[in-house]
Amino acid sequence: MNSDFLNALEMLPVPRTADPTRPGGRAARGRCIWCGKAAALSLGPRLKVIGGALHRFTPRACEDCTHREAERTHTAHRRTCARCTGWEHCHDSQALHQLALETRR
């Protein structure tokens, strides 16, 4: 994939328990999808099937949780990616690593 088309925020998985249909829920209120604090970052549009219906929502995240999840996702990616080697990283890996560095406090 061309690195110009990558958005590392959209690569972060959201919790399975995220329910955009629940009024007052984190996903519906625009709070951090992981901890519920004020969210500064949009994780991009997502789709989820709930009760047989397809729902579109845009989860948000705080910088602390984004950093933690970017590191976790990058580590998992490096273990499973056939294109990543010990000294060379694919574009996805580079984007996730950069996101983890940018959100580090």
67: CB partners within 8 A, 6+ apart: 100, 103, 104, 105
Conformation bin of residue 30: beta by default, left when phi > 0, alpha when psi is -120 to 50: left
CA gap 44, 81 in Å, rounded: 23
Confirm if 61 and 32 have CB atoms less than 8 A apart: yes
Mean pLDDT of the 74-98 span: 90
Render pLDDT for 27-45 as a digit per residue (tens, 0 to 9). 667 789 999 898 989 999 9
Query: What are the tens digits of pLDDT across the range 53-72?
Result: 898 888 999 999 999 999 99
The mean predicted confidence, pLDDT, of the chain is 86
